[in-house]
Structure 1
Amino acid sequence: MIILFGCQQVLIHTDRDTQAIIEYICSESNKVFNCAVYYARQVYFKAHRYATKAELDQELKRNRHFQAMYSQAAQQTCHSVFESFKSFKALNKLFRKGELEAQPRPPKYRKGGLNVVTYPKQALKLINGNIRIPLGSKVKTWFGIDSFTIPMPNNLNFKEIRELRILPRNQCFWAEFVYKLDVVETKLNPNNALGVDPGMDNWLTCVSTTGTSFIVDGKHIKSLNRWYNKKSFHAQRWQASRILV
């Protein structure tokens, strides 16, 4: 049985307090990631083996940055390190067989100050059209806050959501919703084809072998692209000014 998943990103608009909370957990996720990488690298270089997923969870759960996050979110960060080393292991195997020209290197530490935070569906609750996202018990003890909320997109069904990721990008935070897709079975005629000619104002000019044709307007997409580049430019300048100060 084939299971398909979709992904939708939504820019998070919220108050300063919630923005500070989101920045805090992304910062802690970055520190957990680097701590997990440090442990996995020590195991690889000194014990000459690869750290297991359970081993990373067991070792990092005593870490104060791990404890500052919601436990399942912190585990997801550790598991991302495990997956990186799993890929490294597979590449190493190919290199030793002579099937890979360049020798792979172990995963490195993150240099950025913020990292993605991932919450499984079971950690989330829908309350009055908002998704309640839990925080770690340590955060509740330190700051008296146990959760924060973000709006639930109107076009998605909360029951279909499998995962929620908080993504830091260009001085903004995005909510990435991973949801289950219904499989649509289609019957294709291999004798039919569609010719596509990409352009600028006319983004796509399409003609099919059945005699039909259509044009996808590119002016709106160009406008969105200019807006994105402008925002990205100002965000980079702002970041550069912070570094210079």
Structure 2
Amino acid sequence: MYLTVKQQLKHLSKEEYLSLRELSHTAKNLYNQAVYNIRQYYFQEKKYLSYQNNYAVLKTSENYKLLNSNMAQQILKEVDGSFKSFFNLLKKKNKGMYNAKVKLPNYLPKNSFTTLVIGFVRLNEDTLVIPYSNSFKKNHKKISIKIPPILLDKNIKEIRIIPKFNARFFEVQYTYEVQEEQRNLDKTHALAIDFGINNLATCVTSKGKSFIIKSFIIDGKKLKSINQWFNK
């Protein structure tokens, strides 16, 4: 079983922040290059350009070289996964098994950023050093991140560095593996959740005693105000 822990990156120097923005923007460029290759091949050949063939074309590109090779490969794999989903849906549609419109994966906006994925995780005790390519390393100082203490004894499988609000700040998402626990659930009871905006969630449980609240509301106004502040 896999679980996730999220951490907002704080206390970055201006230089570190700009380096992350540059990497995230480069990842977006590589993503769009990969999308372009597959789309053009499909338009011309009416066939799917495989990950291996796309990788062979892009591994010498400037954007690929600026990223750590593992990060770059993760970008290509994500694009590949999107197009595999497209072709699977297209096949179902042609067989009459799918009625909705099937759209080709599109490009990310020109001035945007995308997630940096670290699929091969190496830690120095409680510290993650963002992996650089040799070319990026020449002109940029390393970025070290202290991982949350809860993860110190965990088997971390993947780390995602996610740009938020057009890369005004970054969030780190750690995916780790744990042994699945068998739980004896009482399936005769339920919790109903109604999501909203001002009220983020209105919840009602089917179980409770006179001294236990059977319903509760999670206020969403604070989250809404934070979102409006970041979009100013």
Which TM-score bucket, shorter chain as reference? 0.7 to 0.9
Give 5+ residue unaligned stretches, structure 2.
none
Counterpart CA distance in 1 for 2:191 and 2:43 is 53
CA distance in 2, matches of 1:201, 1:41: 39
Q: Deviations over 1:101-120 (max 9, x none)?
A: 23412111111510011001
Q: Give 1:37 shift.
A: 0.4
Counterpart position of 2:189: 193
TM-score, reference length from structure 2:
0.86
**Shift of the alpha carbon at 1:214?**
4.4
Matched, 1:140 2:137: yes
Per-residue deviation, residues 154-176 of structure 1 (Å, max 9, x unmatched): 12235411100010111221001
CA distances 1:56-88 after superposition (whole Å, capped 9, x unpaired): 222111110111000000110011110010000
The residue number in structure 2 matching 1:235 is 230
**Count, aligned residues:** 225
In the alignment, the residues of structure 2 paired with residue 94 and residue 56 of structure 1 have an alpha-carbon distance, to the nearest angstrom, of 25
The 8 Å contact of residues 207 and 214 in structure 2, kept in 1 or not, is answered as no
* Deviation (angstroms), 1:193: 2.1
Instruction: Say if 1:201 and 1:17 are closer, same or farther in 2 by CA, change over 3 A.
Output: closer
Q: In the TM superposition, what is the alpha-carbon distance from 1:126 to its structure 2 partner? A: 2.4
Aligned partners of 1:34 and 1:109 also within 8 Å: yes
Corresponding residue number in structure 1 for 2:117:
118
Does the alignment pair 1:153 with 2:151?
Answer: no
- For 1:164, the equivalent position in structure 2 comes to 159
Gaps of 5+ in 1: 238-245
Structure 1 residue 52 displacement after superposition? 1.1
Give the percent of matched residue pairs that are identical in Structure 1 and Structure 2: 20
TM-score by length of 1: 0.81
Aligned AA for 1:163?
E
Q: CA RMSD in A?
A: 2.7
**What is the CA deviation profile of residues 207-239 of structure 1, one whole-angstrom value per residue up to 9, with x for unaligned ones?**
428999545754xx42xx3332222212212xx
The answer for the alignment partner of 1:240 in structure 2 is none
